[in-house]
Amino acid sequence: MLNTKSAVRSFAIVVRAEPYQQVTRPADTIVLEVPAGGQTTAANCEFLKGGYTPVGYQFQPIDTGAGYPPQIVQMYNARRIATLAGAEGSDNFHTGDEWFNSVVVSAKRQKKFTDVILHQAVSATEYFEAARVKALQPLMQ
């Protein structure tokens, strides 16, 4: 529970529920809205329209209980979201895919996820995110 007082007359908070940590532009889905003092005021935020999936699309679930580190799960998720955004032809996607393949090959060869492999997974996720944002840039207009 948070108990606080402030001299400011208004306060806003945006709660994001994003599919992976490296998201740089949130999607246009609001997951929590609490009007202060019963008054609703317009917020000015730049959201990415249609940021993750086409309307009505159902993701196949990723097995998060398989013991994979979060960096690996987020890398897989970022790759499929960038693919859905149509980002496969971009340089960022190709670089992310190179990191992705390196992670998969290295993890199979070493039979474990080292810190180096996990850092590579984060890099892949960042490239996939950059590709997704660029592919969806026309929707920001």
- 3-class secondary structure for the chain? CCCCCCCCCCCCCCCCCCCCCCCCCCECCCCCCCCHHHCCCCCCCCCECCCCCCCCCCCCCCCCCCCCCHHHHHHHHHHHHHHHCCCCCCHHHHHHHHHHHHHHHHHHHHCCCCHHHHHHHHHHHHHHHHHHHHHCHHHHC
Reported as a single tens digit per residue, the pLDDT across 75-122 is 988 898 898 888 999 999 999 999 999 999 999 999 889 999 999 999
| 45-72 mean pLDDT | 65
Whether 8 has a pLDDT exceeding 70, the answer reads: no
